[in-house]
Amino acid sequence: MSVAMLETRGLCKSFGALDVARDIDFRLERGARHALIGPNGAGKTTFVNLLTGLLPPSRGNVLLEGEDVTTLAQAKRVKRGIARTFQINQLFRGLTVQENVCIAVSERLGVGGSMLRPAGKRGDVIEMASRLIEMLKLGPDAGRRIVELPYGRQRLVEIAIALGLNPRVLLLDEPAAGIPSAETHILLDAVATLPKDIAVLIIEHDMDLVFRFAERISVLVSGAIFAEGTPAEIAANREVRSVYLGSALDG
Amino acid sequence: MIAATQLARRHRFRWWELLPWAAGIAVFFVFPNYLSFATQVLITILFALSLDLVLGYAGIVTLGHAAFFGAGAYTVGMLAMHWGWNEPFSGLLAGALVAAVIGFFSGVVLLRTHGLTLLMLTLCTMTLLEQAANMGAAWTGGFDGMPGLSFTKILGLFGFDSLYFRSQYLYALAMLFLCFAIVRVLVYSSFGQSLTGVRENLLRMHAVGAPVRMRQVIAYTVSAALAGVAGALFTQANGYVNLAVLGLERSAGVMIVLILGGYGRLYGAFVGAIVYMVLEHTLAKAYPTAWQLGLGLTLIVVALFARNGVIGIADSLRRRVKADAR
């Protein structure tokens, strides 16, 4: 088997007596369009937090291209190419959309600590940020502060920031939650324009979006991988239907 | 693309930025009898400016900023008292250096914490220094401090006349300008932008891969150095140093200055310091026993109705005029 882009081996996390990740073996292949689904409280966000280093695992390993990054701090993993969006917006609320994206791009280009040159003279940073802003159709709002934007627009900024990090692995935690359904295509279009070798893992409740997007689906139930396969396999899986998909597909 | 242009232009000088400096020079000629007071205002502006870098930009809430002011003030005092090191400019650099070293080491330890914990720990650091200055009487003069210090010509060129305050005022104005230039470059740089990111959302800042703690420690150290310069100027301008430079009152006072003027906006320190010191000066004359009451009431009014300080009021007025024009 080839080396996975991102892999976990026996990943466990417990908060006291509560096991939120139970022995998760997971592979995210290079260029994957992978979805992680599961009922509320299945531990999906915790899993992302373990992947990004926001939480330390109780046991097990996280490997990026075969290299163990389990003990690496979050910021260092970002530098290695793991970017994420948050389920609940984590933005620089008092700053403009342009500034929000520029901060991410500056870090990506390694100029975030540069003290002498004005940020406004970083043509490369501003250009890259502006391109992302256009891509996510945020152009008209670029000069507005986050607090002035409706929640759905803010969601798109969240994605622009993650893309600004130029990731090799992109983890999207319920990116469409709060985006009006008429606008979810902006999100999908943006992901579709990403280079093919970027691995994308999406956590999503909107099954319509999941089946449009994903080439592979994992189902997480009570902190453990319950099933995994192609969208067709998952849709046909009786057990998955009974624990989770039933209501979404039949209802 | 308007936003991109906005961002690209923000660091450029605007005509009104000349006003404070023109006013500073005008004061020299128009109010020759008030130069001693004006020098104190300049020192307060510089101290508030240093706090703005950490509080306003990096969002580090501290109640111990006087630790660095005091470090600068005592360094200059002790150098003059014990080693006859009386040259003002080099003394200033020494004060900045000592304050920066204290800022760096306390920053490395304290900036692991946030919020109330940080607030208390910065306060403790300052109190420790205050007690050290109190107990190390052989070096610091203890409770009485070091009175009657004198200083030589600045760089051996300009007389330092502590009686007439003229050269002293210009010296303080020049140092303020220099420090302001440093802060201005910093806050408009990518580094400054990342500090605002730290202030606005720590979690996100980690998640974009920024070395958050390092940025905070750097900002804290630079800020400490600038506060050290302010403290050094204080000792040089007054010819004495005592425990008051290290007290909670000074830390809280400078925070009030920033709240009055508006924090995170560079010129808030200027407006706040002038408002605060003029208020203090006039109120203390009118009601010698209860002047702080007036200050407290002003602070309540600002906190209730003008969260972004006096400059914030000017901002919202300007925005309203613009909106009406449209």
Q: Among partner residues B10, B197, B215, which is closest to A120 by beta-carbon distance?
A: B10
ipTM of this predicted structure: 0.87
Residue carrying structure tokens 């969240």? A158
Which chain A residue lies closest to B207 (C-alpha atoms)? Answer: A75
* Contact assessment for residue A228 and residue A216, using Cβ atoms and an 8 Å cutoff: yes
Q: Which positions in chain A touch B207 (Cβ < 8 Å)?
A: 52, 54, 74, 78, 83-84, 86, 90
Average pLDDT (A70-97) is 92
Tell me what the mean pLDDT of segment B15-44 comes to: 91
Q: Which of A94, A119, A165 minimises the CB distance to B208?
A: A165
**pLDDT digits 0-9 by tens, A150-177:** 888 899 999 999 999 999 999 999 988 8
Position A178 pLDDT exceeds 90? no
Least confident of A31-40, A132-141, B145-154, B191-200: B145-154
> Mean pLDDT in chain B?
89
A 96-135 residues with CB < 8 A to B: 96-99, 102-104, 106-108, 111-122, 125-126, 129-130, 133
Nearest CA in chain A to B188: A118
pLDDT tens digits for range B271-306:
999 999 988 888 888 888 888 888 888 888 888 888
Output DSSP code: residue B55: I
pLDDT in tens, A1-25: 678 899 999 999 999 888 888 999 9
Q: Using the beta-carbon criterion (under 8 Å), do A119 and B190 form an inter-chain contact?
A: yes
Tens of pLDDT, residue by residue over A41-67, are 888 999 999 999 999 999 999 999 989
B17-325: CATH class: mainly alpha
Pull the structure tokens for residue B183. 């802060």
What tokens does A227 get? 């099933």
Q: B25 or B12: which carries more pLDDT confidence?
A: B25
Confidence of residue A40 (pLDDT cuts 50, 70, 90): confident
Provide the residue ranges of all domains of chain B, joining segments of one domain with +: 17-325
* pLDDT on residue B140: 87
Residue of B nearest to A163 (CA): B208
- Does B87 score more than 80 pLDDT? yes
Whether B289 has its CB under 8 Å from any CB of chain A: the answer is no
* A90 contacts B201? CB cut-off 8 A: yes
**Chain A residues inside the 8 Å CB shell of B188:** 118-120
Task: Provide the percentage of residues in chain B whose pLDDT is more than 90.
Answer: 59
More confident residue, B150 or A125: A125
Amino acid B123: pLDDT? 94
Whether residues A99 and B193 touch (CB distance < 8 A) is answered with yes
pLDDT at B1: 58
- Contacts of residue B200 in chain A, CB cutoff 8 Å? 91-95
Tell me which chain B residues have a C-beta less than 8 angstroms from the C-beta of A90. Answer: 201, 203-204, 207
Q: What distance in Å separates the CA atoms of residue A235 and residue A243, rounded to the nearest whole number? A: 12
Percent of chain B with pLDDT over 70: 96
Confidence of residue B20 (pLDDT cuts 50, 70, 90): very high
**Minimal Cα–Cα distance from A189 to chain B, Å?**
21
How sure is the predictor about A250, in pLDDT bands with cuts at 50, 70 and 90? very low
CB atoms within 10 A of CB B251: 24
Residues in chain B within 8 Å Cβ distance of A109: none
Residues of B (8-37) whose Cβ lies below 8 Å from A: 8-12
Range(s) for CATH 3.40.50.300 in chain A?
1-81+167-251
The correct answer on CATH 3.40.50.2300 for the domain covering A1-81+167-251 is no
- Three-state secondary structure call for residue A135: helix
**Chain A / chain B CB contacts < 8 angstroms:** 143
Q: How far away is chain B from the Cα of A46, in angstroms, using its nearest Cα? A: 15
The 3-state secondary structure of chain A reads CCCCCEEEEEEEEEECCEEEEEEEEEEECCCCEEEEECCCCCCHHHHHHHHHCCCCCCEEEEEECCEECCCCCHHHHHHCCEEEECCCCCCCCCCEHHHHHHHHHHHHCCCCCCCCCEHHHCHHHHHHHHHHHHHCCCHHHCCCEHHHCCHHHHHHHHHHHHHHCCCCEEEEECCCCCCCHHHHHHHHHHHHCCCCCCEEEEECCCHHHHHHHCCEEEEEECCEEEEEECHHHHHHCHHHHHHHHHHHHHC
CA distance B314 to chain A (A): 18
Residues B143-198: tens digit of each pLDDT: 888 887 888 777 767 666 655 568 889 999 999 999 999 999 999 999 999 999 99
The pLDDT mean for chain A works out to: 89
Least trusted range by pLDDT, from A151-155, B129-133, B228-232: A151-155
Sign, CA dihedral A164-A168-A171-A177, equals positive
Cβ separation of B189 and A118 shorter than 8 Å? yes
Torsion angle, CA of B147/B153/B154/B157, rounded to 10 degrees? 170
* pLDDT confidence tier of residue B59, bands split at 50, 70 and 90: very high
**Better pLDDT: A192 or B274:** B274
Residue B312 in this model has a pLDDT that exceeds 90: no
Kindly tell me if the per-residue pLDDT of B77 is higher than 50.
Answer: yes
Please compute the mean of the pLDDT values over residues B80-91 and round it to a whole number.
88
pLDDT at A251: 38
Could A126 and B4 be called an inter-chain contact, meaning their C-beta atoms sit closer than 8 Å? yes
Q: What angle do CA A40, A45, A49 make, to 5 degrees?
A: 160
Identify the pLDDT of residue B161: 60
Chain A nearest C-alpha distance from B183 (Å): 10
Contact A99 B1 (CB under 8 A): no
Cβ <8 Å between B206 and A75: yes
Give B198 to chain A, closest Cα distance, Å: 9
A215-230: average pLDDT: 90
